[in-house]
């Protein structure tokens, strides 16, 4: 795009901030001015202000700028000031707005974001100037997320999924209030990327996503073995020296979790969905390509989408969501994908279970789809190893050739998914990190949705790729150990680990979307249980109305609904009950609740305790925080994404 403007018909789809003035002429800022560091611009501008103050008189008139016109000086004056500060042509203040945004928070996940936002912002400014694009670039903005890794096992973990909702809200405010017509978003950690994508889909102006990138794995200085955040959680029960060693060395550098945990599950999902170029997903956060090469390529995508009139909802379709879910299963992805895919579909105007695939369709796909990656937490490698082995495109290519994906789905590059992969020309799987469909790492797909008398509407989720034992001929039969809340289980694991026995099935309840509220992850207890099982060579399963980190492994089942807070069947389970998990028939059942007299009596006792406590069961933790109260009043069930309802009852 070297001549200056797009076709009028294309830009008519994207409203300008105000009626545009005269055509833009000469006088755009030079590359040197656009690239001037902010600190230097501030120093130069401060000098100019001081000089002007010492030399101006009451009769001085500001210089006129050819082609500049203001219809409302009160609104325009700040646009002019911002354009001057950013080194932009003030005559473009009424042109359609482009924006660069990022996610920030307190962890290594977010440390690299600002440098990438700065690089993308500078690249966009250069392109606007060099090609005289009819665009007004506004200052970069950031939404705020939390650190799941730092909060797991604490009360504050309840804010993690809420963070997805808040990012959606804040990005929505930024895009809508500023009439953003084109967006490049740098995303990091688990929940902020999903909130960002949801807001972009709701706004539906051309958007391209750049993942900040995964962290490099750490190294245990004693054993030389690779370690990561999940390794650190799994040694919580070890001695002081081991705990200190892992804390000091498990997560070097910057970037989001490196295994096939939730971050990489969702970045792979977003890439296959079509909103991020495939080759940008797997490089490490510190990889120089993310600063030196990717920004200009993202701009090419944004220009292409704008030129062609392609919007996010043209890309995010039932076919592209099916593709993204297929890749998530084939990569042994996080159970959180079932919350986030529902939310992304909703933002695109779709009902995942009606328009994309049913629960039965999902399970049928998972049964015939193998796991193609040898990745943490169930394997050996990290996403940076996937990059060395050829990147995400290797997996997509394998699945395309095997007929698992719909190759004609459109992507942000302007190509179909199949065309993008063909251009990237990925190498064949190396059969170590990445495996072919003909010789997979695991024969069965990574995720399974369960139904039964504990989950009458289905939706309870099991990560088969992470199961390490305990299932015989497709069935696990366990003895219920009931805990009303995560904290009580952690106390038992810390103080009485010997009390847990082979074939126990731990039940954690009142931790669902409304019960906790916020549906926190159970990475801390699942990691401790995993270590206990490995040390004693036993199987302890876990069932909860909460959710799991992508780093959780073992026979763990989440999203059980209706949740205990609402009096769902999980609230009626008692210590010693027999719980049967049958992956042959995708069921989870409590044998005692098969007896209608038992089920009725327990439900009546639960209701009586709830009525006597003012309508909330006494096992539920009271909340006073504003956000937690909103979540308790308006959270949706897991099958609907677990987020906030648009019409909460408070």
Domain 447-640 has what CATH class?
alpha beta
What does the pLDDT look like over 521-578, one tens digit per residue?
998 899 899 999 999 999 999 999 999 887 787 899 999 999 999 999 999 999 999 9
Q: Residue 41's pLDDT is what?
A: 39
Contacts of residue 250, defined as CB under 8 A and 6 or more positions apart, other chains included, come to 218, 227, 228, 229, 231, 232
Extended strands (E) in 468-606: 475-483, 504-508, 540-544, 556-558, 578-582, 587-590
pLDDT at 449: 97
Contacts of 211 (CB under 8 A, 6+ apart): 186, 187, 188, 193, 256, 267, 270, 271, 276, 280, 281
Domain definitions of the chain by residue range: 8-20+77-216+253-424, 447-640
Catalytic residue list? 549
> What 3 state SS string does 598-631 have?
HHHHHHHHHHHHHHHCCCCCCCCCCCCCHHHHHH
Q: What is the DSSP letter of 26?
A: S
> If DSSP codes are grouped into helix, strand and coil, which group holds residue 102?
strand
What is the structure's pLDDT at 446?
Answer: 76
**∠ CA 306-307-313 to the nearest 5 degrees?**
45
Q: Answer yes or no: are the C-beta atoms of 396 and 409 closer than 8 Å.
A: no
Measure the CA–CA gap between 601 and 572, rounded to whole angstroms: 9
- Mean pLDDT across the chain: 89
Q: Count of H helices and E strands in the chain?
A: 24, 15
φ/ψ of 40, rounded to 5, equals -70, -40
Helices 159-177 and 191-203: angle between axes, nearest 10 degrees = 30
Phi, then psi, of 395 in degrees rounded to 5:
-65, -45
Dist. CA 564–CA 577, nearest whole Å: 16
Q: Is 42 helix (H, G, I), strand (E, B) or coil?
A: helix
Residue found by looking up tokens 């992304």 in the block: 344
Please work out, in degrees rounded to the nearest 5, the angle formed at the alpha carbon of residue 640 by the alpha carbons of 638 and 646.
120
CA distance 377 to 647: 38
pLDDT profile of the chain (650 residues), mean per 10: 40 42 32 37 38 39 72 93 93 96 95 98 97 96 92 88 96 98 97 98 98 96 94 89 95 94 96 98 98 98 98 98 97 95 98 98 95 94 98 98 98 98 98 98 89 98 85 95 96 94 97 96 90 92 92 88 98 98 96 98 98 98 95 96 74
């Amino acid at each position: 795009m070297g001549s200056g403007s797009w076709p009028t018909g294309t830009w008519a789809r994207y409203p300008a901030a105000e009626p545009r003035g005269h055509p833009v002429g000469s006088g755009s800022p030079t590359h040197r001015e656009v690239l001037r560091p902010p600190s230097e611009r501030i120093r130069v501008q401060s000098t100019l202000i001081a000089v002007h103050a010492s030399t101006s008189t009451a009769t001085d008139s500001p210089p006129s700028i050819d082609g500049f016109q203001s219809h409302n000086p009160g609104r325009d004056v700040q646009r002019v000031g911002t354009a001057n500060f950013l080194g932009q042509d003030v005559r473009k203040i009424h042109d359609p707005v482009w924006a660069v945004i990022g996610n920030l928070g307190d962890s290594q996940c977010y440390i690299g974001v600002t440098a990438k936002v700065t690089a993308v912002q500078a690249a966009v400014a250069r392109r606007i100037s060099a090609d005289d694009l009819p665009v007004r670039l506004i200052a970069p903005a950031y939404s705020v997320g939390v650190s799941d890794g730092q909060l797991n096992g604490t009360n504050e973990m309840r804010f993690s999924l809420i963070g997805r909702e808040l990012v959606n809200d804040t990005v929505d405010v930024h895009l809508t209030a500023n009439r953003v017509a084109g967006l490049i978003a740098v995303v990091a950690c688990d929940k902020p990327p999903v909130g960002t994508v949801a807001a972009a889909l709701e706004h539906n102006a051309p958007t391209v996503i750049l993942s900040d990138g995964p962290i490099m794995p750490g190294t245990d200085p004693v054993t030389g073995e690779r370690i990561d955040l999940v390794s650190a959680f799994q040694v919580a029960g070890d001695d002081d020296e081991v705990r200190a060693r892992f804390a000091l060395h498990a997560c070097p550098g910057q970037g989001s979790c490196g295994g096939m945990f939730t971050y990489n599950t969702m970045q792979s999902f977003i890439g296959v969905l079509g909103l991020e170029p495939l080759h940008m997903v797997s490089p490490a956060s510190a990889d120089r390509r993310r600063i030196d090469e990717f920004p200009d390529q993202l701009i090419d995508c944004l220009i292409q989408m704008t030129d062609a009139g392609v919007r996010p909802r043209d890309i995010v379709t039932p076919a592209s969501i099916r593709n993204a879910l297929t890749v998530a299963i084939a990569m042994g992805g996080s159970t959180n994908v079932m919350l986030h895919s529902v939310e992304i579909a909703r933002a695109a105007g779709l009902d995942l279970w009606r328009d994309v695939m049913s629960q039965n369709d999902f399970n049928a796909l998972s049964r015939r789809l193998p796991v193609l990656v040898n990745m943490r937490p169930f394997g050996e490698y990290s996403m940076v190893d996937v990059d060395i082995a050829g990147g995400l495109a290797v997996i997509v290519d394998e699945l395309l050739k095997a007929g698992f994906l719909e190759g004609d789905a459109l992507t942000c590059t302007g190509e179909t998914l199949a065309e993008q992969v063909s251009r990237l020309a990925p190498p064949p799987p190396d059969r170590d990190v990445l495996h072919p469909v003909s010789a997979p790492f695991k024969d069965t797909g990574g995720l399974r949705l369960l139904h039964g008398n504990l989950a009458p509407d289905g939706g309870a989720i099991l990560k088969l790729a992470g199961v390490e034992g305990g299932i015989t001929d497709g069935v696990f039969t366990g003895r219920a150990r009931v805990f009303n809340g995560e904290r009580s289980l952690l106390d038992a694991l810390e103080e009485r680990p010997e009390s847990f026995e082979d074939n126990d099935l731990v039940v954690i309840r009142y931790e669902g979307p409304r019960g906790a509220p916020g549906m926190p992850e159970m990475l801390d207890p699942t990691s401790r249980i995993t270590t206990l099982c490995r040390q004693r060579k036993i199987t302890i399963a876990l069932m909860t109305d909460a959710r799991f980190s992508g780093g959780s492994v073992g026979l763990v089942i989440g999203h059980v609904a209706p949740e205990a807070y609402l009096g769902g069947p999980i609230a009626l389970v008692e210590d010693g009950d027999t719980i049967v998990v049958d992956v042959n028939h995708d069921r989870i059942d409590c044998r005692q609740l098969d007896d209608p007299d038992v089920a009725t009596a327990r439900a009546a006792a639960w209701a009586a305790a709830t009525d006597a406590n003012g309508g909330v069961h006494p096992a539920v933790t009271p909340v006073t925080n504003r956000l937690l109260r909103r979540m308790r009043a308006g959270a949706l069930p897991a099958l609907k994404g677990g987020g906030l309802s648009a019409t909460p009852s408070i």
